[in-house]
Each structure stands twice: as structure tokens, then as C-alpha cells.
Amino acid sequence: MSTAFSYACKDCEGMETCPGKVVATTKDEVWKLMELHAVVAHGEKPNSWDAETRNYLGTLIKSV
Ligand SMILES: [Zn+2]
């Protein structure tokens, strides 16, 4: 059974050069850290992410 989830920003389309990566115990925590990373590193507004974007990002969260 996996004990952690990770998200690597470079897996996201258009973010191939970003070294950002987050690891956390729960998917909820990964989402929070992803959103924070997006704001700080990319100036994005997670509040404006639509369902399609969230579905896509969700597929990039891997269990480790
Ligand atoms: Zn990034």
C-alpha cells in the first residue's frame, strides 16, 4: 500500500523545464501544495482552474 503521493510540475504540459515537485501523505495535501507552487512559481490563479484543468492535473498525481 502506498504511503505518499507526488506531483512533478514537469509532467504538466508546457512545464517541462520546471523542477518543482511536491510530495505529501494525502492527495488533498498534494493539491494544496500544487496550488501554492502554481501561485508562487508560475503566477497562476488556482481559483480559476476549470474542471478540465483539475481533471488533467489530477492524472499527474502519482502514488509513491
Ligand atoms: Zn512549476
Give the domain range for residue 54: 5-63
Find the 3 Cα to ligand 1 centroid distance in Å: 23
At 52, list the grid cell. 478540465
Cα(18) to centroid(ligand 1), Å: 5
Q: Which helix (H) or strand (E) holds 8?
A: strand 5-8
CB 35 within 8 A of CB 46: yes
CA of 58 from ligand 1 middle (Å) equals: 15
pLDDT (0 to 100) of residue 1 = 66
List of the chain residues with pLDDT < 70: 1-2
Q: Considering its fold, how many domains does the chain have in total?
A: 1
pLDDT of residue 11: 97
| 4 alpha carbon – ligand 1 mean position (Å) | 20
Q: What's the CA-to-centroid distance between 38 and ligand 1, angstroms?
A: 6
